[in-house]
Amino acid sequence: MTAKKLTAERGETSRLDPHKLREDFPILGRRVHSKPLVYLDNAASTQKPRAVIDAVERYYSAYYSNVHRGLHKLSSESTEAFEAARSKVQRFIGARDRKEIVFTSGTTGAINLVAQAFGQRFVGEGDEILITQMEHHSNIVPWQLLCERAGAKLRFVPIDDAGELILEEYDALLGPRTRLVALTHTSNALGTRNPLEPIVRMAHERGVPVLIDGAQAVAHEKTDVAALDCDFFAFSGHKMFAPTGIGVLYGKREILEQMPPFLGGGEMIRSVTLERSTYKDPPYRFEAGTPDIAGAIGLGFAVDYLESVGMDRIAAHDDELLDYATRRLQEIPRLRLIGTAKDKSSIVSFVLHEIHPHDVGTVIDLEGVAVRAGHHCAQPVMERFEVPATVRASLACYNTREDVDALVAGIHRVIEVLG
């Protein structure tokens, strides 16, 4: 079913009904430990709607072939579907040119691509990369590797006790040797939604490009990279109802054209001799080898699905449910929220006094509630708040108030069992 037909059926202006939406996700009907599944681990990975599952199955069963190089019918059909997905992503995030959409293995792959290719061309000894204290490891480690290789320095914007960036410190850290700012749109550990417009503007006033890690944003609110004026934007398919193994790097065309290839091999070349090779224009310059074709096709159908539901309706639902979850959790004695920014999105992290987060997560799981306990690949955040780990409940458009109530009941069960 097309996005237009789905939208017409649901009503363009109607309020999102998560109970109805759940019918699109087969896994949400199962039971865990004899309890109905309550899935609150969406920041790690989202479940898949039937439309995406069917699209991937149809590719493998009806027109599977490699893309771009074949002249036969199956290859033509596969290529058409693969490139259609690129156009869908372009429209979905507001890119001006489909050639600005590079398929990667995920957010991690996209950030590493920039660290390698942009870093090779534009970062040298004594230069600086500026990131923040709230980053996922995927937006820390690649820059550490680049700085070690290039002799550059990695600098950090601190966060306050609410989990918000200290913009005065950001402004002070932007300097004549800053070559790139890289930061998250929404913190996976805190839920903080960063004020991207002034952050991008301040960097551009100093001629510094900006990379945004959008992994925790694209499934929750409308994204417009042209309006943000960011230079790079990275995200993963599996966090927006698409398959694993597929992701996207958006890059302004004029910057991508200046970057050397990240990987060498088939498809990314114009010509190869034993002496030298010449390379294709972006995005194909950065897509060496056989891509994740099924993943890209699935990503395209995930875009269709999100657009059929309506990003404005999803954002309104997620914000309302986050507010409800926050209020319910604040009622629990001994519970401390980690991350209390004024502007948050779909994530609540917490600790229970004298009970390890891993124990909390284990007991809650026995109640059928899936949350995540650990450092969430954000160890500097844990260090900032002086905790070894947190319990994280993360919401999606198919979650309900009943899901939140089940989480709260599970926490009370933890207190009852573990004291």
Active site residues: 377
DSSP state, residue 239: G
What is each CA distance from 171 to 92, 157, 200, in whole angstroms? 31, 9, 11
SS (H, E, C) 165-208: ECHHHHHHHCCCCEEEEEEECECCCCCEECCHHHHHHHHHHCCC
Task: Tell which residue, 278, 291, 235, 285, has the closest CA to residue 259.
Answer: 285
Start-to-end CA span in the chain (Å): 50
Handedness of CA 289, 293, 299, 300 (dihedral sign): positive
Distances (CA, A) of 265 to 78, 109, 113, 359, 408: 21, 17, 15, 47, 52
Q: Taking CA 344 as the corner, what is the angle to CA 349 and CA 186, rounded to the nearest 5 degrees?
A: 85
**CB within 8 A of 57, min separation 6: which ones?**
none
115: its two tokens: 């660290």
Q: What is the DSSP string of 243-275?
A: PTT-EEEEE-HHHHTTSPPSS-SSSSEEEE-SS
Give CA–CA dist 283/83, Å, rounded. 11
Place of tokens 């998560």: 18
Distances (CA, A) of 161 to 320, 326, 385: 24, 17, 8
